Amino acid sequence: MSKLSDWTAEPVVADVREVLRAAEAEDGRPEVDATGPLPREFSGGLHLLARRDGNPAGYLHLDVEGDSHGHQVAELVVHPAHRRHGVGIALARALTERAAEGFRVWAHGDHPGAAAIAAKLGLGRSRELLVLRVAAEHADWAEPALREGLRLRTFVPGQDEEAVIAVNARAFDWHPEQGALTVDELRAEERQAWFDPAGFFLAEDDRQQVVGFHWTKVHDAVPGRFGGDPVGEVYVVGVDPATQGGGLGKALTLAGLRYLRARGLPQVILYVEGDNAPALAVYEKLGFTRFETDVQYGR
């Protein structure tokens, strides 16, 4: 039988990391370094740990500040060695008792077990985030074409943070997570081992104002996921609404895709909202197909 700790703002990071790393080895996610801070989605907020026979068996993180729509958002992970022993349902019940009305909880990979727990607790599917994938080696990606007055360059740390965040806020004012990104959070990402300014493309107008960006990311190989190869990601593409039209978003996307292919990455992935039909149409034309689905459950 699982035993839950008390909710805390200061978890035992080693125990949390043990659960997350075991899940990563089994599922390919979440991506967690062997040392250092936990990923950004597990920082701050409240934490709850489950144990079985004294060992870390499950972990629940609750972002109490919430997304930009006001929903508190939870991440729930069960250690593979302790699945199907009631750990997930115990943590989920604790979440429903603690979280504010309207909370959301992620199920990465749309696992049937998560759907069963959600059904028991009366939680429905409130959001779908699709993972799309394309083989990069033989993709027919043309040279980016920019309209007159625009040019591409790469991100300069210490110089471009505020300009990027300003564009990001305008481009993603509708998005639950991305639109709330801050300058400090961007700088924190720059300190991550994966950050590479050479893969962070900015579009400038003739006044040297940033009007769009494409931030790429490279994931290390994870056994059992994406064939065990490193994979590139179209991490964020943002275009200032005042500059939309004329194909700037496509040009930025192509610049990043060609960069990732030049690095020798066999596959590229991206995340897109399941109801974003225009974006899905663009990515399908670039060769992307659906690979996985992440689901948010809520009431």
> Which residue stretches of the chain are H helix?
13-27, 87-98, 112-120, 161-171, 183-190, 248-262, 277-285
Same domain, 161 and 272: yes
pLDDT at 249: 92
Is 78 marked as a binding-site residue? yes
pLDDT at 187: 96
Is 131 marked as a binding-site residue? no
Distance set, CA 168 to CA 20, 73, 147, 189, 239 (Å)? 29, 21, 21, 15, 8
Q: Within a domain: residue 13?
A: yes
Q: Cα(213)–Cα(243) distance, rounded to whole angstroms?
A: 12
Q: Cα(78)–Cα(30) distance, rounded to whole angstroms?
A: 12
Is 130 marked as a binding-site residue? no
Highest mean pLDDT, choosing among 130-139, 174-183, 196-205: 196-205
Same domain, 34 and 161: no
Q: Within a domain: residue 127?
A: no
Domain termination residue (choose one: 73, 94, 122): 122
Is 233 marked as a binding-site residue? yes
Same domain, 162 and 290: yes
Is 248 marked as a binding-site residue? yes
Is 271 marked as a binding-site residue? yes
Is 231 marked as a binding-site residue? no
Same domain, 206 and 254: yes
User: Are the beta carbons of 208 and 147 closer than 8 angstroms?
Assistant: no
pLDDT at 215: 98
Same domain, 188 and 284: yes
pLDDT at 294: 94
Is 208 marked as a binding-site residue? no
pLDDT at 286 over 80: yes
Provide the pLDDT confidence category of residue 221 given band limits of 50, 70 and 90.
confident
CATH number at residue 236: 3.40.630.30
pLDDT, tens digit, 9 for 90 and up, residues 55-89: 999 999 999 998 878 899 999 999 999 999 999 99
Domain termination residue (choose one: 122, 156, 184): 122
Residues 6+ apart with CB under 8 A from 187: 161
Same domain, 102 and 15: yes
The alpha carbons of the chain give a radius of gyration, in whole angstroms, of: 20
Instruction: Give the residue numbers spanning the domain of 204.
Output: 133-298
pLDDT, tens digit, 9 for 90 and up, residues 163-176: 999 999 999 988 87
Same domain, 200 and 290: yes
Same domain, 11 and 151: no
Domain termination residue (choose one: 85, 100, 122): 122
Same domain, 56 and 148: no
Mean pLDDT, residues 210-217 taken together = 97
pLDDT at 234: 97
Q: Within a domain: residue 257?
A: yes
Number of domains present in the structure of the chain: 2
Is 211 marked as a binding-site residue? no
Same domain, 214 and 254: yes
User: Are the beta carbons of 297 and 118 closer than 8 angstroms?
Assistant: yes
pLDDT > 70 fraction of the chain, expressed in percent and rounded:
99
pLDDT, tens digit, 9 for 90 and up, residues 110-146: 888 899 999 999 999 999 999 999 999 889 899 999 9
Q: Within a domain: residue 97?
A: yes
Sheet holding 289-298, edge to edge: 3-4, 46-52, 55-63, 73-78, 104-107, 289-298, 124-135, 267-273, 231-239, 210-219, 200-204, 151-154
φ, ψ (nearest 5 deg) of residue 135: -80, 125
pTM for the structure as a whole: 0.84
The pair of structure tokens assigned to 189 is 């990402």
Same domain, 82 and 205: no
Query: What residues does 8 pair with on adjacent strands?
Result: 47
Highest mean pLDDT, choosing among 46-55, 110-119, 237-246: 46-55
Is 250 marked as a binding-site residue? yes
pLDDT, tens digit, 9 for 90 and up, residues 139-156: 989 999 998 999 999 999
Same domain, 116 and 145: no
Q: Within a domain: residue 128?
A: no
User: Are the beta carbons of 39 and 217 closer than 8 angstroms?
Assistant: no
> Which residue stretches of 177-291 are H helix?
183-190, 248-262, 277-285
- Average pLDDT value for the chain: 93
Q: Within a domain: residue 219?
A: yes
Is 158 marked as a binding-site residue? no
